[in-house]
Amino acid sequence: MEGQVITPPHVELPQSGGTNYTQWTQEALISRIRHLESSLETNLLNSEIKQDSLTILPKSTAKPDFDFSRYTSRLIALKFAYIGGPYQGLEYHFGSDTPFPTVEEKLFEALLKARLVPPKTYYHPDGSIDTTQVFTSGSTAGIEDIGKWVDLDSWEYTKCGRTDRGVSAFGQVVGVRVRSNRPKSKPEEILGENALVEDVDDSSTPKGPIEPAETDDETPEFEDKDELPYVTILNRLLPSTIRVLAWCPNPPENFSARFNCQARTYHYFFTNPPAPHNPGEQPRVLDIDAMKTAAKYYEGLHDFRNLCKIDASKQITNFKRRVEEADIVKVGGVTPVFSLEPCETSQRMLERRPETYYFKLTGSAFLWHQVRHMVAILFLVGQKLEKPDVVKELLDVQNMPTKPFYNMADDRPLVLWDCLFDENEVKWVYPELNRAKPSSREDVIGSLWELWHNSNMDAMLSGGLLAMVYGQQETRRKRETVERNGDLAMTGNDNSNSSNKKKVRDSTWIVDGSPMQTSFGKYVEIVKRGRMETVEVINRRFAARKSEEWRQKWSVEAKRERGIGDMTDYDHDE
């Protein structure tokens, strides 16, 4: 009888609704167990839950710490700023450790801590939901392994422009669906936000998800002024180097912070002179007029393959980008902290202080490290190592189809200044900033003042020390000049031309935007330098190292067959 399923004898069910197994024989009980096991295996095989796609986590009896089904949600846009120095760029890297946290890591952490977005749901192999708490160490601590709680798809999360390590942003924009104070419509209040109509005992009602109410009577009135104070909530949880500035309550339908953005503006700051000089010598200043002339050649639609870093992982073939504006702008109203010539009058100090400029660049989209490559060429022009026409030569890909070898500019002075949208579609709401308690994190003005004050004090102290050292060197130089002139009058020997004079090294100092210049050997013009391989060769070599599955989906040929364009889907921002 082994393996044969025996139908158990009919037993009258007790009032509790359970089966009374006390009167069953041993063989009948064994057969019943096998029958139930067989049914369970069949149900699991037919289930839509795939065993290999489940993340196995320890079971927990803890209840979820927040019930998002009790609230409505809405898609909003956030405008925020950050100082890039302490971060490993904007984008969070799932599954990889970075030396510094990313800006998105801190933003995701704040969104989760504020319960503005739901954590990602995980299932056990048996289909039950894992209820492990997101905040195992309390709400004030960081979130351990934050990547497993991030669900960009359900959050409808999009970002405008990616910035790399060290790069700052003053007008970054993201779109995200967040918890709202909006009351639920009447059907939602009765059934629950995600309830099915089939749960209601009404056979005449069609089954399926609840549709939004079509009449105004079904949805209570709600004004955005009664909404959750998103800006204040997030600033309370974010570090002082990341500040949310505004929010857009009603972005257009299917809003994407990336694709709805019409233009992006970058500023790259630099000083003139760009580096310290020896006391008694004239500072090496940049030729601003020549840089302005060269910058204007960037404007218009051009192929920038020689002015970016080739990202073979994206298999890009179209490097044309449109630049709306490119210019060199002087920063005014900056109080000097030291003079290039010590012991001068106040007016003379104003005239001799290091000046600050920025390269302003506006365009619809940019390639990887494009801005920093463009700035590097402008610095060479400003040093008179290259003529402004070198920009034209680099943009002429017919005569220069491959990129010459040269270094891009430093990352720290670069700022994503603003992301521009249609003002009729994206209307920013800037909350009042004078209601927060002093010294609190949500006090945007106070926290930024503290950041500026500390940095300015450091600048004043270091500037004063630098001025003192310049003064001491100037005094020493004058004393040596007097002594040398005295020796010359007494002996008639000019020691300044002695054989002990140091030999000047035959090298070139290159400005790259960092605090100190970089020393190279004899300078070689850009057009005479060695070249990289063609874009086609770089793309093919990268694709050859990838799997066949990857090549069938992402190679240049596969993308061309699927009609995927580089300009919209796979362009990089700085």
The residues annotated with a catalytic role in the active site are: 164
Smallest CA-to-CA distance from 270 within 384, 121, 379, 140 is with: 379
Smallest CA-to-CA distance from 373 within 419, 321, 418 is with: 321
Give strand ranges (E) for 9-126: 72-82
| Beta-carbon count within 10 A of 205 CB | 10
Rounded CA separation 188/218 (Å): 10
Q: Are 352 and 339 in contact (CB under 8 A)?
A: yes
| Beta-carbon count within 10 A of 317 CB | 15
Non-local (6+) Cβ contacts of 407 within 8 A are 376, 510, 512, 518
Local structure of 155: helix, strand or coil: helix
Non-local (6+) Cβ contacts of 173 within 8 A are 77, 78, 79, 80, 159, 160, 257, 261, 419, 421
Rounded CA separation 270/266 (Å): 13
The burial class, CB within 10 Å (0-12 / 13-18 / 19+), for 393 is middle
The b-or-e profile of 399-437 (16+ CB within 10 A means b, else e) is ebeebbebebbbbbbbbbbbbbbeeeebeebebebeebe
Q: Name residue 536's amino acid.
A: E
Residue with tokens 């067989």: 38
Residue 344 CA from chain centroid, whole number: 45
**φ, ψ for residue 178, nearest 5 deg:** -125, 165
Which residues sit opposite 414 in a β-bridge? 268
Rounded CA separation 57/67 (Å): 20
How many angstroms separate the most distant Cα atoms in the chain?
Answer: 132
Rounded (to 5) percent helix, strand, coil in the chain: 35, 15, 50
Rounded CA separation 493/410 (Å): 48
In this structure, are strands 168-180 and 158-159 parallel, antiparallel, or unpaired?
antiparallel
Smallest CA-to-CA distance from 377 within 391, 392, 398, 359 is with: 391
